[in-house]
């Protein structure tokens, strides 16, 4: 494998339904747009890149922050440094922020929950301890939320975290010294990873 697949992962707080609107905004603004533009388009460091603040399926589970970058093995250090910098210092771009808000609102305005999705949507919310359509909270938040509020969310839940790095790639092409500088390294065999 010529490509190195890098996943940064960290655990955040236990499930909090009040975070759902900001989670969706963070994922739309930062995870889909900013990361892609900065890592892939501006710096040409990756084939693919994204970041996500996850929403757990049960109230006793935790939110997780993870980001991914698929890059050439020789760009491992540059790509991980750039990703860490972005995760710790979310860029502020008002135009992209406004577009992200509008995208989420338009999605809610045009989305119809029908047929079997009525039950599955109800069950997903119920499993999380939510007794109403959470999209109402998301839509109302998008109407008034500011970029500064999103920055505050990122500062509390994303930046400054201790990230675990999961790297998949050819042992011969990955610079192990780069990995050792990120933290303790544990190599897994193909059998441990894939079962064969």
Domain locations along the chain: 3-194
Helix axis angle for 147-157 and 94-110, nearest 10°, is 90
pTM of the model: 0.93
Q: How much is the pLDDT for 1?
A: 64
Q: Does the pLDDT at position 40 exceed 90?
A: no
**Average pLDDT along the chain:** 95
The enclosing H or E element of 162 equals none
The more confidently predicted of residues 194 and 140 is 140
Q: Encoding tokens for residue 129?
A: 């301890």
Give pLDDT tens digits for 18-32. Answer: 999 999 999 999 998
20 Cβ contact partners less than 8 Å away, ≥ 6 residues apart:
55, 134, 137, 138
**CA pair distance 107, 101, nearest whole angstrom:** 10
CATH number for region 3-194: 3.30.830.10
């Amino acid at each position: 494998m010529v490509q190195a697949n890098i996943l940064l992962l960290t655990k955040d707080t236990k499930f909090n339904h009040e975070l759902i609107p900001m989670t969706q905004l963070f994922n739309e603004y930062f995870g889909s747009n900013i990361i892609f533009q900065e890592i892939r388009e501006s710096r040409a460091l990756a084939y693919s890149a994204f970041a996500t603040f996850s929403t757990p399926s049960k109230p006793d589970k935790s939110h997780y922050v993870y980001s991914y970058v698929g890059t050439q093995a020789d760009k491992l250090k540059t790509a991980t440094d750039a990703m860490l910098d972005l995760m710790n210092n979310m860029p502020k771009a008002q135009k992209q922020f406004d577009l992200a808000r509008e995208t989420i609102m338009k999605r809610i305005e045009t989305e119809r929950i029908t047929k079997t999705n009525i039950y599955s949507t109800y069950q997903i919310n119920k499993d999380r301890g939510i007794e109403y359509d959470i999209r109402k909270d998301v839509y109302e938040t998008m109407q008034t939320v500011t970029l500064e509020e999103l920055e505050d969310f990122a500062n509390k839940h994303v930046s400054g975290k201790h990230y675990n790095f999961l790297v998949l790639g050819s042992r011969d092409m990955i610079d192990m010294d780069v990995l050792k500088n990120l933290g303790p390294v544990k190599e897994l065999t193909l059998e441990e990873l894939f079962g064969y």
